[in-house]
Amino acid sequence: MASNVPPTPRGSFPRYLEHLSGSGKAIGVLTSGGDAQGMNAAVRAVVRMGIYVGAKVYFIYEGYQGMVDGGSNIVEAKWESVSSILQVGGTIIGSARCKAFHTREGRLQAAGNLVQWGITNLCVIGGDGSLTGANIFRKEWSELLEELAKNGKISEEAVTKYSHLNVVGMVGSIDNDFCGTDMTIGTDSALHRIMEVIDAIMTTAQSHQRTFVLEVMGRHCGYLALVSALACGADWVFLPESPPEEGWEENMCVKLSENRARKKRLNIIIVAEGAIDTQNQPISSEKIKDLVVKQLGFDTRVTILGHVQRGGTPSAFDRILASRMGVEAVVALLEATPETPACVVSLSGNQAVRLPLVECVQMTQDVQKAMDERRFKDAVRLRGRSFEGNLNIYKRLAIKLPDDQITKSNCNVAVINVGAPAAGMNAAVRSAVRVGIADGHKMLAIYDGFDGFAKGQIKEIGWSDVGGWTGQGGSILGTKRALPGKFLEEIAEQIRAHSINALLIIGGFEAYLGLLELSAAREKYEELCIPMVMVPATVSNNVPGSDFSIGSDTALNTITDTCDRIKQSASGTKRRVFIIETMGGYCGYLANMGGLAAGADAAYIFEEPFDIRDLQSNVEHLTEKMKTSIQRGLVLRNESCSENYTTDFIYQLYSEEGKGVFDCRKNVLGHMQQGGAPSPFDRNFGTKISARAMQWITTKLKESYGKGKKCVSDDYICVLGISKRNVLFQPVADLKKETDFEHRIPKEQWWLKLRPLMKILAKYKASFDVSDSGQLEPVQDQNTQGEPAAI
């Protein structure tokens, strides 16, 4: 579909929030359609950002129904109205399906109610139906006002004063069924609920050698089914967009019995509730169960997850996503003119973008049309590159071709874990091993990092050796912080002895340093002239060349969960402030993003130096806060943010200064941030990025193998990462200049731009650069440059 929105070049000068004023503006915020975890975080961000810029913000209760009914359904929101809602699932302002808004009469009533409050800016959080309704309303607005004036309901003056309505949408939907955004608010939390259930079911299924058929939500979209299948290594998955081929019944039973023959004690089959066959006939979970029992005689059970997926507390990812989107939505409303078309604030890779609402809705409807017309390949393509990529990787990892059908490459590829353990490492190893075997390589596992490499702790690892690894935390291969510098001789010897042709390193900053040492030693040891690629895996998220690393999302969720509990305890005792210390070395990512996700009052980080005056102003800020109805405080501190302002010092300072106003407690989270089962994000991210790394290795081996050339150029030793919207392989030699080696962090870090957000939402004045946002982008052209980083 051709886009009629010309891309506008980004401004070269920075634009700051201070240049935008909301005074005299009234913003209405509503949630509509099915609820999703994270909606409250979005509502909170809209309310607080709106008040911060001087606008009036109104809750519209019960979605469009409240807009039509008016009266007590439209209420002005205060700063404290959205306190303590960040960690609550669902939506506190209610949501309802509204038949009346489908009629012109209903919309006329709604327009009258909005004019009464002077609301001409709408922020709608919902699915494609809700957003379509908002756009129709926006188009009819001036006619509706004229009709109201004609009927004597409003004055002519009001028609002129409130002549146009601006609409910005945010997509809240657990199904991730909206085209144009990589992730909708609520999807990640729904995946958390699904993975919790799958992890629990796997232990019981293992005990009894059972087959489980799990039905997940997704009437028209198979995203939840596909990603949860990818994240748990399910044996089979049924999706509405990609029905199984004719004869699937036979194929599935063969696959299940083959897996049992490989000593696998359980089978997991995941079904989207809208699963269909190629004739558009439904495939139900009961039908699948009956088939397995009849054909194979396996003990089979069905579990339907239902509304559990919509409930529970939002994940850290959803809270941060919703907070970013809510702030972006307010900025979009402040910048809107009468000519601005309705837009949707969405996520592309790691960037917030604005897209034309009409085009996104049209594309979403095109997917359904393609499915109805049985054009399934088109349906998958229209869902976006992320969906297509997930599907292709799932197929490669789930189904092993017979050995005689795999073309052997005669190459040996080794996988190693380096540095501290991070949740999701095992998912990355599993993915690498299986993609490598599918590409015809012999895969070798190196145990216990570079230390084990030098000692020759190297074994071949097969397809079924890595079964069931995705959900396990830590590092099964074992990992150490030792660098290769002292063992270069021995490592070169092991590479020769095992004829290793390529190396995949999964780890954190030590892995990065190790890669640099191996790169520098190539002149001396020709054995090291092989393709090497590093996949970042560390809770600290401090590897140059990537916005994200495997394990940091799991750590962030641990921090957020702990903060939720601590806040609850502080609310009970009243007038209490907690100081919480997070990990991360010198990198403040966990403290800053944890602060944003948990609604902290302050987060001290190394990247933003602070002094006694800042500590003093934070104490005064908390003293003021204790006079309101929110009588608790939460302060995060990165473990290495300051040599002298230690956690104890800050705790003692707050205790002394807050005497008589609040008391203080401290909590050091420590190594619990490294442990635990990986979050769905880390399982999925680890699986996808590691598969991509193996594809790169295969390409590089093909390039060098035929020509017999040594891999001496810099582009044979790379770090694979996500940067803004793209997946990038960057030579480690090029990243040296971007690294602060003393503090083990990249010189520039993307998340520092989000730091003012945390401060603004905690009621501090902050300078916020909004130059990255501002232009409507065409839907299709988002990822024309580079390889898209759909997370």
Q: Can you tell me whether residue 718 is helix, strand or coil?
A: strand
Q: Is 388 exposed, middle or buried (0-12, 13-18, 19+ CB in 10 A)?
A: middle
Place of tokens 């259930």: 197
Among residues 35, 128, 175, 177, the one annotated as catalytic is 175
C-beta separation of 330 from 123 below 8 A: yes
Q: Where are the alpha helices (DSSP H) in 247-343?
A: 248-261, 285-296, 316-335
Token duo for residue 728: 């990038």
**CA-to-CA distance for 102 and 20, rounded, in angstroms?**
35
Concatenated DSSP letters of 394-452: HHHHH-PPPGGGSPP---EEEEEEESS--TTHHHHHHHHHHHHHHTTPEEEEEPSHHHH
Q: In whole angstroms, what is the distance from residue 577 CA to residue 602 CA?
A: 11
Task: State the DSSP string of 52-100.
Answer: HTT-EEEEETTHHHHHHH-GGGEEE--GGGGTT-TT--S-TT-----SG
Scan for tokens 């891999």, then name that residue.
711
The size of the chain, in residues, is 791
Q: Which two tokens stand for residue 698?
A: 């295969």
Q: Is the dihedral of CA 755, 756, 757, 760 positive or negative?
A: positive
In 734-791, beta strands by DSSP E:
739-740, 745-746, 787-788
Angstrom CA distances, 562 to 39, 278, 755, stand at 21, 47, 21
128 counts as catalytic: no
* Residue 78 neighbours by CB distance under 10 Å: 13
Q: Buried (b) or exposed (e) across 510-545, using 16+ Cβ within 10 A? A: bbbbbbbbbbebbeebebbbbbbbbbbbbbbbbbbb
Q: Which amino acid is at 293?
A: V
CB-based contacts of 605-609 (< 8 A; 24+ apart in sequence): 605/638, 605/641, 606/638, 606/640, 606/641, 606/642, 606/743, 606/745, 607/745, 607/749, 607/752, 608/752, 608/755, 609/642
Buried/exposed code over 759-769 (b: 16+ C-beta within 10 A; e: otherwise): bbbbbeeeebe
Non-local (6+) Cβ contacts of 652 within 8 A are none
Q: Write the DSSP assignment of 146-177 as a string of letters.
A: HHHHHTTSS-HHHHHHT---EEEEEEB-TT--
Q: Which residues are catalytic?
A: 175
